Structure 1
Amino acid sequence: MFLEMVKKRNPELIDYAVSLHQQGIILPDTYVIDLDKIKENATKMAAKAKSLDIELYFMTKQIGRNPKIAETLIEAGIKKAVVVDYREAEVMMKHNIPIGNVGHLVQLPTHFIKKVMAYGVDYITVYSVEKLRQINAVAEELNMKQKIMLRVIDEGDALYPGQYGGFQLDELNEIMDVLKSFAHCDITGLTSFPCILYDKELKDFKLTQNVKTLKKAKQRMQASGFDIQEMNVPSATSIKTLPLFKEMEGTQGEPGHALSGTSPMHAEVELEEKPAYVYVSEISHNSQDSAFVYGGGYYARGNLENVLIDDEGKRTESSVEPFPSDNIDYYLEIDGKQTIGATAIMAARTQIFVTRSRVALVKGLNDNKPELVGIYTSQGSEEERI
């Protein structure tokens, strides 16, 4: 479905991606990202958020922790980043990108706390009293006061494997006095993830139980004297979901996939944000009745289904065989034999930061003046062109 959306809403991106590959400018296992579309999507989203008095922090992990994209998003009106982990913080700090929130999905390591706080960040999200104690000690050393968000969880919340952690809702009252004891920490925010999820049957977004947990936590914190000013309610932040923030009492969102038009709903419905990337590979070999393309960029939750093959201008389509998540994607299998060396174009949700892929940023497609901006690693480092 994502491929169909790109064909319909950004066909110029496919044409230019094919051209880059067939000229040998990019190798297979490269995501080609339309920088102009990213900016257009972000500009619309920033305007919508401003009209609703919602603050946005952009997330770049999905599109390769790319500093050039970060700079573009700032130009579009989303002024600060949310970093998924300390590695992403390192990239943003190296390129002087302002950071709004750090520590939400991955807590700050002990010996990285001071570096982040000296750099400056709006909020540090904390899962435990022990981590709060570490931050308070560093803040005292730096003679500053650090704003803090608590991640609060409860039984029945939507929590993903590998992301578990936070303050238990039923234990909050027991630790209020401890929380108040940290003089160099200003606890003014609460967060959880995911707060919104797409329901394929309803073909719409719905709130998770996590939202109820946050509201209960806010009431208890305020009753105990804490001034909770921010409710950070991430997941699926987009122009479509921003009106739901009022119901959630949300004040902050963290757009990620919507910046590239690749949330689950974008695959099925023409939303405001347009698709902004494709994945480029190449036919490596045939075996029996299948062709095999170079892998490296596969993401198990991406729901990759279809592939467009361009054989020196002759285009056909085929389907991609399901790939087992417990194997390494050296190759992806597609139905039917194909010409060795032909270009393969795919589109699916991804998380580029967990791939081996390269990222090619392009611009000028709308004006029929396509230009390659640069080629980067999946971690945001620029590479020399081949």
Structure 2
Amino acid sequence: MFATIRSIEAILVDIPTIRPHQLAMTTMGVQTMVIVRIKDSEGLEGLGEATTIGGLAYGQESPESVKLTIEAYFKPQLVGRPADNINTLRVMLNRSTRGNNLARSAIETALLDLQGKRLNRPVSDLLGGALHQHIPVLWTLASGDTARDIDEALSLLVQKRHCDFKLKIGSRRVMDDVRHVAAIKEAVGEQASVRVDVNQAWDEMTATKGMAELQAAGIDLVEQPTPMKDLGALVRLSRKFHIPILADESIADAKDMFALAAAGFAGAVAMKIAKAGGPTRALEQATVAQAAGIGLYGGTLLEGTIGTVAALHAWSTLETLHWGTEMFGPLLMKDDIVTKPLNFYDNGVDLPAGPGLGVEIDEDKLAEYRRKNQ
């Protein structure tokens, strides 16, 4: 007799950030996570997480809409179903609902965690097996203040916590951003890689000017300089400059990846399990990218520990992460809701050991940060 899904709960959790986190489209002071708990008929529990950036400032799903989607649409279809065949459940949801990839990712993650606990195997084993136990992680310098960002970068280099840095730009005039970035690159020199994320803020003409200046300043990578739907601009820019472009918002899943590669894009892709609709679909995207000679990068929506670990299990199965990862979300938050935080050191993070995701909820912390009246 197979275990069946007995209950599904989606919980809004609000945790302050360690500092204002400035992006092109918003500035964050609090991160909201949707924590999903799926329990089966044998008493086991699987954990998942859906998190986005700045409510609706980043994408079409908000934490509140994710909670509603899971409780009003996914839960009635899943409760009572066998919990072991994740593919069957995933296809069923795909046929009955459209979009809502963040919500899908949280559900798939919780089901994988549940399956791993049932089989006493880590999620990475369910995804093909881990090739890496320690995964590189960069840090985003996003205070917006040049001197403060330089001090932060130099301190982290001394600690050997990070040696790659990304800067969020696009909210100021191009040359103001370029001067900010160039000063930081000059300060860290060759001991650190410096990349930028424009978050779709430039049109193609502005991007042409900005990328030329950034290339001259020694910047290593430019993430999503132009609007997500303007695939032609990404292709043309990738051919014009030797500084690589990292496609992010333009690419959600394997079909998007194929379309961009077929158009002649040469660069890298920021994979995100939430954007793709779950760890398995993110790895499908990676397969297409690898076949097209496009570099891989493990991206984040600034998830907490549960969502971060889910992504780490997926990234650990990839032979090469050409540009590393940015799975630093838990470090951006002032507190955590798990019993054992992730171990960040030596410019990366350890993959947690143990069955499933390898993390457990701290019930007291969850109660403290759980949004009231939900």
Relative to the length of structure 1, the TM-score reads 0.39
Higher strand share: 1
Relative to the length of structure 2, the TM-score reads 0.40
Rg larger for: 1
